């Protein structure tokens, strides 16, 4: 937004994709892929280039989160059986920054 150019790509009717969408997806997918290489991650944006600026990459894991117990019925779930969907928001393209979610 500060750069002044959103680099909008039209993916169809009412489906705009910005550089922020692409960057956000890279920032989410890169650390997840590194931490959980067997998990299938599907992003809304079809990205050929998955590279990310190193300073945008979150590498620290919340120690309190790691201590949480998962429900007992999930005890036999394997990492390769998990799918994570990454989806952005269209509000960004309309300047509604207070509505932006991922």
Cα distance between residue 63 and residue 68, in whole Å: 9
Which of 18, 52, 37, 40 has the alpha carbon at shortest distance from 86?
Answer: 40
Give the annotated binding-site residues.
Answer: 44, 87
Q: Give the active site residues.
A: 21, 89
Q: What DSSP character marks residue 43?
A: E
Give the annotated binding-site residues for Mg(2+).
Answer: 44, 87
């Amino acid at each position: 937004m500060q750069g002044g150019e959103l680099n909008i790509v039209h993916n169809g009717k009412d489906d705009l994709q910005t550089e922020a969408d692409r960057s956000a997806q890279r920032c989410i997918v890169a650390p997840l892929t590194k931490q959980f290489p067997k998990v299938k991650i599907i992003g809304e944006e079809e990205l050929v280039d998955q590279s990310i600026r190193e300073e945008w990459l979150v590498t620290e894991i919340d120690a309190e989160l790691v201590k949480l117990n998962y429900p007992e019925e999930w005890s036999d779930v394997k990492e390769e059986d998990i799918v994570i969907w990454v989806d952005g928001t269209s509000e960004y393209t309309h300047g509604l920054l207070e509505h932006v979610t991922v």
